[in-house]
Structure 1
Amino acid sequence: MAEEQFQFTAKAKKILSILAIVGVVLLGLGIFTASNTDHHATIDDPDATMHNAPIVVDDLEDAHATEDIDQDHFGEPEHAEEAHGDGHATWLKRIFANLWINNMYFLGIALLGVFFVAIQYVSQAGWSASLIRIPLAFGSYLPIAGILTLIIFLVGGHDIFHWTHSYLMDPNDPRYDEIIAGKEAYLNTPFFIARMIVYFVGWYIIFRFIRKRSLEEDINGGNNYFFKLRGISAVFIVFFAVTSSTSAWDWILSIDTHWFSTMFGWYVFASWWVTALAAITLITVILKENGYLKIVTTGVLHDLGKFVFAFSIFWTYIWFSQFMLIYYSNIPEETVYFIERLSSDHYSTVFFVNLILNFFFPFLVFMPRDSKRHTVFLKIVTIIVLIGHWFDFYLMITPAVLAENGGFGLLEIGMAMIFGVGFLFVALTSLAKHPLVAKNHPMLEESKHHHVF
């Protein structure tokens, strides 16, 4: 077959550039609005500081008062200082929270793109051979995500992660926290950064091996490369099985330092996985509509739709299991996580919108067979799923960082647009550098004739 090459055209780059500029403008307006809101709440309306601005704790007596207030709202004292302490403005904490949300979200798409490729090789799947280069291109974003993760942590770690404050570990300090101090062996900055480096280095090295062998297969052909790729992919899956959970504990679960869930690793994996599947499906459909990927059959698109459908249900199963088990046990240190998100005017609406976007909508639309075979439905559902799971990460992170001071507006939209453009630029640039179809993949013919009846 003729070699197919994706062209990252000047027009496409111009569109992305315009979106990036719009994102920067919205972000700037959002920061301006948020900073002014904080200022006016502090100066003009002292009573409003409870909800909109930082509270400066002058002495121990005030600290206890703030703690009691915060417990009334959220049931966990650590959030009082997270939301109000250290003299940092709420709008600055909101910027750090959004940087972390978007970095975790797009890191997940990149990482799970590589996981998708590894799963196909280990399971010797043939149906996906025609589109394997799309998720492989996602992996090119991993080093950027790694650098951003380190920088955001070093600059804004104190605002995002409560456990990074050394006084929490000091028994002589009135702010000493016995629970957090008990986790010091694991939650300490040197070990945290060391784990971060191990995760990203491991993921990226194995990704490079997979991409290198896949491109060599294009040149030399033969089945040897497929068997090597299967072995490398098996190594990646084993490494991923451990690090996907531990990284979720490190980067998201530890933000709510007092809270824990034995299902959290699975929950983050499910959200990352269905998001990556939606991204793969959406880009495949758009490329096919623009004259690329002629080899991709309706049956392949159908299977992609079934994956998004199935794992939306899987995500909901994990969501419900975590929610039901925690509320059924009715243990205060566990239920506080959901109380924070259900009792606040800022988050309660998003809590239910999250379920609608990520379960009810894809479930109902993708239930009929034909909807998974038409590009219009595939595009609509995958876009909704991508938006929905961004809100899922918003709900995991924002309440823990900002407590009752969280919000959603131009700042969040602008930041998401900037990250989205950055991810697309990296992925599409990588996609344009190599043949779009793995022409010597031994199962390409199976994919070419893959039909679902």
Structure 2
Amino acid sequence: MTIIVAGVVVLVLGILAQVLGWGAEHHEAAGHAAAAHGAAHEEGSSVLIKRILVSLWHSNLFFLGVSTIGTVFMAINYVAYAGWSVMVKRISEALSAWVIPGGVIMLLVFFIGRHDIFHWTHDGIMDKLVNGKPNPHYDEIIAGKSGFLNLPFYVIRMVSYLVIWGAFSWKLRQLSLQEDLNGGTYWFHKSITASALFLVLYAVTSSMAAWDWVMSVDTHWFSTMFGWYVFASWWVSGIAAIALTAIFLKQAGYLKGLSSNHLHDLGKLMFGFSIFWTYVWFAQFMLIWYANLPEEAVYYNQRLGGFEGRYTGLFYFNIAINFVFPFLGLMTRDAKRQMIIMKIVAIAILCGHWSDFYLMLMPATLRGENGFLIEIGIAAIFLGAFLILFTRRLASASLVPVNHPFLDESIHHTT
């Protein structure tokens, strides 16, 4: 609750700063550039309302992705017959507590603020003629994508993703609780079957969700690697959340079976997938830079020097915090087994990938009118609400799945 209150305070300060124009002279040049860039199709809401709506979309998207990774992590370990992760299984189950509330918020924000977030939703933008006359707002590129980017099909896809993720998260949780009550291997094998189906569906829906929820914000731009890029950001953030929670529980006197060997494996996942995220980042950047096609290069032009350089510093910070810091921090074996180092790196990864989503969304929506106080305040409110649901689910069942067939293997796990 303290985090929510702090978030509200920061949000109010951010709103006051926007309304009273604190720092307006600093933003004036960028604001003119933004107006020139976006005046042709700009609609409706003031910059303040738009910042709030985009920030709600941004933070909810991040927390929803991290929440879903709890189910993905659990499912992967089921189908792999992995024993080491049993000690942190209940943490990954609890992460998924945000999937359903996050899905509801996502739908509400989309219906309320879609015109401020998604350029392609503006009325008439795909109509070449209006009343028999040429439409000045017609966009040929967006019109060419109308078979995919249209409201009914988009909403159907969004609801499908959320229902699939929510249903399998709930199903795997229920199977786990039944296993606690009844023992035996029946529930374990049922969980494997459900996990295998979920992973196939998630592989498709997570990439499509990345196209719909993030890439379609930059409607003219596209990247065939973007689904992997967003998944990598979600995945390493989810692993960091699991590791951080395990450390806090261990330090609070819980999870007595959690050892440095479990931390080592979580550290290897954080280390390895920070590198994987960087690989996808670099491959996407390098191919776009090398080809230098206008419809692709615009994405990086906005983030490297665009809008009076408002995003340039964050662009380089993104690489430093999401690659350089985890790479150097977790390079050695001993570092992955030290709680304090793991804790620092996990927090850095979570903050870094929240800023990664900020960089994905803000240049295409707010352009040069971006800021941080409102965005950080809303993120803190989401974090507080997320932690309430997360901790309640953690407390609702044994922190150790007592009848899991691989529990003994996890207790005696060594690396």
Aligned residue identity for 1:148: I
What displacement does 1:372 show? 0.5
In the aligned structure 1, how far is the partner of 2:40 from the partner of 2:413? Answer: 57
In the aligned structure 1, how far is the partner of 2:279 from the partner of 2:126? Answer: 37
Do residues 91 (structure 1) and 55 (structure 2) align?
Answer: no
Counterpart residue number, 1:51: 30
Contact 2:3 2:383 in 1 (8 A): no
Aligned residue identity for 1:356: A
Change in CA separation of 1:165 and 1:50 when aligned onto 2, cut-off 3 Å = farther
Pairwise mapping of residues 246-265 of structure 1 onto structure 2 (< 5 A)?
246-265=208-227
Do residues 329 (structure 1) and 291 (structure 2) align?
Answer: yes
Task: After superposition, give the CA deviation of every residue in 1:146-178 in whole Å (9 maximum; x if it has no partner).
Answer: 110001001111000000012111112111001
Counterpart residue number, 1:36: 20
Counterpart residue number, 2:385: 422
Aligned residue identity for 2:166: Y
What displacement does 1:269 show? 0.3
Taking structure 2 as the reference length, what is the TM-score of the superposition? 0.95
Do residues 104 (structure 1) and 61 (structure 2) align?
Answer: yes
SS of 2:219's partner is coil
Counterpart residue number, 1:125: 82
In the aligned structure 1, how far is the partner of 2:213 from the partner of 2:237? Answer: 18
Counterpart residue number, 2:365: 401
Select 2:355's aligned residue among 391, 396, 399: 391
Gaps of 5+ in 2: 130-134
Counterpart residue number, 1:169: 126
Change in CA separation of 1:86 and 1:373 when aligned onto 2, cut-off 3 Å = same
In the aligned structure 2, how far is the partner of 1:360 from the partner of 1:174? Answer: 47
Select 1:210's aligned residue among 166, 172, 184: 172
What displacement does 1:191 show? 1.2
Q: Percent identity?
A: 49
Counterpart residue number, 1:361: 325
Counterpart residue number, 2:132: none
Aligned residue identity for 1:448: I
Change in CA separation of 1:166 and 1:87 when aligned onto 2, cut-off 3 Å = closer
What displacement does 1:35 show? 2.3
Pairwise mapping of residues 178-217 of structure 1 onto structure 2 (< 5 A)?
178-217=140-179
What displacement does 1:346 show? 1.6
Contact 1:53 1:89 in 2 (8 A): no
SS of 2:255's partner is coil
Contact 2:218 2:364 in 1 (8 A): yes
Contact 2:27 2:369 in 1 (8 A): no
Gaps of 5+ in 1: 1-16, 56-65, 71-78
Task: After superposition, give the CA deviation of every residue in 1:5-27 in whole Å (9 maximum; x if it has no partner).
Answer: xxxxxxxxxxxx12211110110
Task: After superposition, give the CA deviation of every residue in 1:293-334 in whole Å (9 maximum; x if it has no partner).
Answer: 001121011100110000000000000000001101110110
Pairwise mapping of residues 298-377 of structure 1 onto structure 2 (< 5 A)?
298-344=260-306, 345-377=309-341
In the aligned structure 1, how far is the partner of 2:19 from the partner of 2:214? Answer: 26
Task: After superposition, give the CA deviation of every residue in 1:405-440 in whole Å (9 maximum; x if it has no partner).
Answer: 2222x2122111111111111111111111111111
Change in CA separation of 1:147 and 1:53 when aligned onto 2, cut-off 3 Å = farther
Select 2:192's aligned residue among 230, 239, 245: 230
Aligned residue identity for 2:14: G
Change in CA separation of 1:233 and 1:48 when aligned onto 2, cut-off 3 Å = closer
- Give the CA RMSD over aligned residues: 1.7
SS of 2:401's partner is coil
Aligned residue identity for 1:25: V
Task: After superposition, give the CA deviation of every residue in 1:64-91 in whole Å (9 maximum; x if it has no partner).
Answer: xx6xx42xxxxxxxx4446xx2243222
In the aligned structure 2, how far is the partner of 1:160 from the partner of 1:251? Answer: 10
Counterpart residue number, 2:246: 284
Aligned residue identity for 1:279: A
Change in CA separation of 1:213 and 1:260 when aligned onto 2, cut-off 3 Å = same
Counterpart residue number, 2:101: 144
Change in CA separation of 1:279 and 1:48 when aligned onto 2, cut-off 3 Å = closer
